[in-house]
Amino acid sequence: MKRLFVLLMLGLAALSATADAPAILVFGDSISAGYGLAHVDDGWVGMLRAKLKAEGYGYQVINASVSGETTAGGLARLPRALELHHPQIVIIELGGNDGLRALPIDQMRANLTKMIDLSMGIGARVLLLGMRVPSNYGPEYTEKFNSTFADVAHAEKAALVPFLLADVALSPDLMQADGVHPNERGQPKMLATVWPVLKPLLRK
């Protein structure tokens, strides 16, 4: 009985420590939700969680990514997530589904800007992960879409990864059969793309 009590107290202490740890909120779509992977923790966000722990950073990583999410859907969900988790860092990985659906880019820009403003408004540092659409959407739409992420990050003074899939998208062996989502082998490549930009935002 005494041993059970000790184990219970240790478990509660661990939960309390996790709850008190500063949070990184990952707010994305299927690319960050681990779509098509055997286990969610096999995704780049799960790998980020493990890397932070291995390198002695005391962050908890909250993956609030939802497959199929657009910037409009993300904007609708974000205020509650910020209120619930009080993150010190917000990683926004949205916009890909706006592009796939050829939604208006001006609205996407406004949604991303508002999400960054909301995050910075609670004192969080923001990292925006850019996406790209293929050229078959037409040169005007493609160019405008692809430049939006850099434009928004520059205007809002947010950190930027220009293209999350830069080292993955053109390698079929790193992509799932749908040609949209990275497979297990592509996940470390995405983390390697994010890490150099994220690291300066971290505090030990």
For this structure, is 178 an active site residue?
yes
Exactly one of 20, 39, 173, 178 is catalytic; name it.
178
The helix (run of H) or strand (run of E) holding residue 28 is: strand 23-28
For this structure, is 181 an active site residue?
yes
Exactly one of 30, 32, 65, 119 is catalytic; name it.
30
What distances in angstroms separate CA 178 from CA 3, 28, 74, 169, 174, one per listed residue? 51, 19, 24, 11, 11
Burial code (b: 16+ CB inside 10 Å, e: under 16) for 33-45 equals bbbbbeeeeebbb
The helix (run of H) or strand (run of E) holding residue 189 is: helix 187-198
Please calculate the CA angle 203-24-87 and round it to the nearest 5 degrees.
95
SS3 175: strand
For this structure, is 41 an active site residue?
no
Distance CA 48, CA 53 (A): 9
- Lookup: tokens for 175: 């992509």
- Catalytic residue numbers, as ranges: 30, 178, 181
